[in-house]
Amino acid sequence: MDLIEPKIPEAPAATGHPKQLYMLFFAEMWERFSFYGMKALLLAYMVTQLKFDEPKGYAILGSYAALVYTMPMFGGVIADRFLGYRRAVLFGGILMTIGHMVLAIPAGWSFFYGMAFIICGNGFFKPNVSSLVGTLYADNDPRKDSAFSIFYMGINIGAALGGLLCGYVGQKINWHYGFGLAGIFMLLGLVVFYIGKDSLQEKGLPPNPAALRKPLFSGIPTEIVIYGGTLLVIPMVVALFHRYEVMDYIMFGLGALSFAYILYIAFQLERVARYKLFAALVLIVFSTLFWAFYEQNAGSLNLFAMRNVDMQVAGIHLPALSVNNFLPPAWVIVLSFFFAWLWPALSRKGWEPSTPLKFGLSFIFLGLGFCVFYAACLQADNGLIALSAFILGYFFIICGELCLSPIGLSMITKLSPANIVAMMMGIWFFASAIGEFLAGKIGALMSVPQNVVANPVLSLPYYADIISKIGLYSIGIGVVLILLVPLIRRWMADVR
Q: pLDDT tens digit string along 220-231? A: 888 899 999 999
State how far the alpha carbon of 115 is from the alpha carbons of 38, 66, 393, 431, 450, in Å. Answer: 10, 12, 30, 20, 27
128 contacts 422 by C-beta, under 8 angstroms: yes
pLDDT reported for residue 266:
86
pLDDT reported for residue 484:
94
Q: pLDDT tens digit string along 54-102? A: 888 989 988 888 888 788 878 888 888 888 888 999 999 999 999 999 9
Q: Which residues of 93-104 are buried (b: 16+ CB within 10 A; e: fewer)?
A: bbbbbbbbbbbb
Q: What backbone torsions phi and psi does residue 14 show, to the nearest 5 degrees?
A: -65, -25
State how far the alpha carbon of 270 is from the alpha carbons of 1, 3, 265, 274, 312, in Å. Answer: 9, 10, 11, 6, 60
pLDDT reported for residue 49:
86
User: Residue 169 pLDDT > 70, yes or no?
Assistant: yes
Q: Specify the pairing of strand 220-221 against strand 316-317.
A: unpaired
How many Å apart are CA 350 and CA 98, to the nearest integer? 48
- What's the average model confidence in pLDDT over 450-464? 90
The pTM of the full predicted model, rounded to 2 decimals, is 0.81
Q: pLDDT tens digit string along 94-115? A: 999 999 999 989 887 889 999 9
**Which residue type does 467 have?**
I
User: Residue 482 pLDDT > 90, yes or no?
Assistant: yes
pLDDT reported for residue 417:
83
Contacts (Cβ under 8 Å, ≥6 apart) of 485: 354, 356, 357, 360
pLDDT reported for residue 115:
92
Q: How many CB atoms lie within 10 A of CB 14?
A: 8
**What average pLDDT does the structure give for the chain?**
86
Domains of the chain and any CATH numbers: 19-492 (1.20.1250.20)
Q: pLDDT tens digit string along 130-166? A: 778 877 877 667 777 678 778 877 887 888 898 889 8
State how far the alpha carbon of 136 is from the alpha carbons of 113, 205, 405, 414, in Å. Answer: 36, 14, 19, 13
Lowest mean pLDDT segment, chosen from 198-207, 303-312, 378-387, 395-404: 198-207
How many Å apart are CA 20 and CA 129, to the nearest integer? 11
Closest CA to 465 of 377, 404, 398, 364: 377
Lowest mean pLDDT segment, chosen from 143-147, 208-212, 277-281, 469-473: 143-147
pLDDT reported for residue 13:
43
User: Residue 332 pLDDT > 90, yes or no?
Assistant: no
Q: What backbone torsions phi and psi does residue 220 show, to the nearest 5 degrees?
A: -75, 130
Q: In this structure, what is the dihedral angle of CA atoms 327, 330, 332, 333, given to the nearest 10 degrees?
A: 180
Helix (H) or strand (E) segment spanning residue 313: strand 312-313
Share of the chain above pLDDT 70, in %: 96
Range among 15-19, 143-147, 380-384 rated most confident: 380-384
pLDDT reported for residue 139:
66
- What's the average model confidence in pLDDT over 194-209? 81
User: Residue 4 pLDDT > 60, yes or no?
Assistant: no
3-state SS class at 66? helix
Share of the chain above pLDDT 90, in %: 31
- What's the average model confidence in pLDDT over 165-169? 89
First CA to last CA distance, the chain: 25
In which band, very low, low, confident or very high, does the pLDDT at 15 lie, cut at 50, 70 and 90? low
In which band, very low, low, confident or very high, does the pLDDT at 261 lie, cut at 50, 70 and 90? confident
pLDDT reported for residue 8:
35
Q: How many CB atoms lie within 10 A of CB 120?
A: 27
Q: How many CB atoms lie within 10 A of CB 280?
A: 26
- Give the distance, in angstroms, between the CA of residue 56 and the centroid of all CA atoms in the same chain: 22
- What's the average model confidence in pLDDT over 426-451? 87
Range among 176-185, 307-316, 357-366, 425-434 rated most confident: 357-366
How many Å apart are CA 361 and CA 482, to the nearest integer? 8
In which band, very low, low, confident or very high, does the pLDDT at 470 lie, cut at 50, 70 and 90? very high
pLDDT reported for residue 215:
83
User: Residue 299 pLDDT > 60, yes or no?
Assistant: yes
How many Å apart are CA 110 and CA 102, to the nearest integer? 6
User: Residue 247 pLDDT > 90, yes or no?
Assistant: no
265 contacts 424 by C-beta, under 8 angstroms: no
- What's the average model confidence in pLDDT over 274-291? 91
Q: pLDDT tens digit string along 389-432? A: 999 999 999 999 989 887 787 788 788 887 778 678 778 878 88
| DSSP-assigned beta bridge partners for residue 125 | none
- C-beta pairs of 242-245 under 8 Å, 24+ apart in sequence: 242/112, 244/59, 244/60, 244/63, 245/59
- What's the average model confidence in pLDDT over 46-53? 87
Structure-model confidence comparison of residues 16 and 359, the more confident one = 359
- What's the average model confidence in pLDDT over 272-282? 88
User: Residue 490 pLDDT > 70, yes or no?
Assistant: yes
